[in-house]
Structure 1
Amino acid sequence: MNASRTPLVILLLAGIFLFGGISGWLAGRSIQLPAPEPEPPTDRRGPGMTERHVLRLVGSLELTDDQRAVIGPKLRSHFEEIRQVRRESLQEVRAIMDRLGEAIRDELNEAQQAKFDAYQERVRQRIEEADAGPFSGHRPPDLRPRLRPEDRRPPPLPPEEE
């Protein structure tokens, strides 16, 4: 090949390559595939958990329309009853924890009380987040343990004297 034509051939090939890339990009933008259907959540928590459970049960049992009309409302009622019992028991647990907290706080000095109050606030926040259990209708943002140096387990208490 002639030396004077080499730069021209390289420029021509680069132009063809660039043209192909641009036209491919434009074609890809103009030909949009429909977004895939979102998969239903598989966890047992979060919004719609009751409906997912009802649909899963109805589908697996191959219920007739008449059976669905009877069983569906029963399941929904059942889950609402569980939510109510859970709320009531959680309130009782909170009352017990508050009494325990006061009993512990009475034994602490001011610096320890401040640390204990901060600790209790973190525990309350985690409980509120965890309140989004399987029957609450919403999912907590994060339930991983959040241990800080001051949260580490203290040495065991001495045995009770008889």
Structure 2
Amino acid sequence: MSTRHVLLGLLAGGSSHGYDLKRRYDERFPQARPLAYGQVYTTLQRLVRDGLATVEGTDSDGGPERTLYRSTDEGSRELARWADEVTPPAPFVTNEIFAKVVVSILVAAAAGGDRTSDAAAYLQAQRAAHMARMRELTELKTTPGTDLSTVLSADYALAHLDADVRWMTTTATRLATLTAEVDTT
């Protein structure tokens, strides 16, 4: 997710302070990777530097001084360009789970262990972790009063976790062949 574009999107509704942008980010993207306040302010400074946002003023409301930001016309155009771009599917699938399966075969081979059972044990443990997370997300999305953003984020994560679990099941059935291939290379 592009933090700069998400912040520009949040600014599209009008001027805002960094603190308010962070709060609205957390509300709109509850299942996303957390956004630190420092990242918000650093990104806002870059948006201003690049002419995509401007400082509209400061106020303190009896507390610390807060800077008010707004999107510029160029920021609005940049946001529209980004929103219209089709996100290309990843050209290469980088999968840490697959890498760990291969590495577990290599490590077991180097140690003289049972290469297939070490990889199978890893896949079983990883599958259990995925299933636990899937139960958490299912509970979250079925909790009465859960907002639609949270439900949609959970659905997205569940679909990806389900694909991983299906891949792990398929890979587990092919471990003997994979081990033979790893042994010959």
Query: Normalising TM by the smaller chain, what interval?
Result: 0.3 to 0.5
TM value normalised by structure 1: 0.34
The structure carrying a bigger strand percent of its residues is 2
TM value normalised by structure 2: 0.31
Higher relative contact order (CA 8 A, sep 6+): 1
Query: Which entry has the higher C-alpha Rg, 1 or 2?
Result: 1
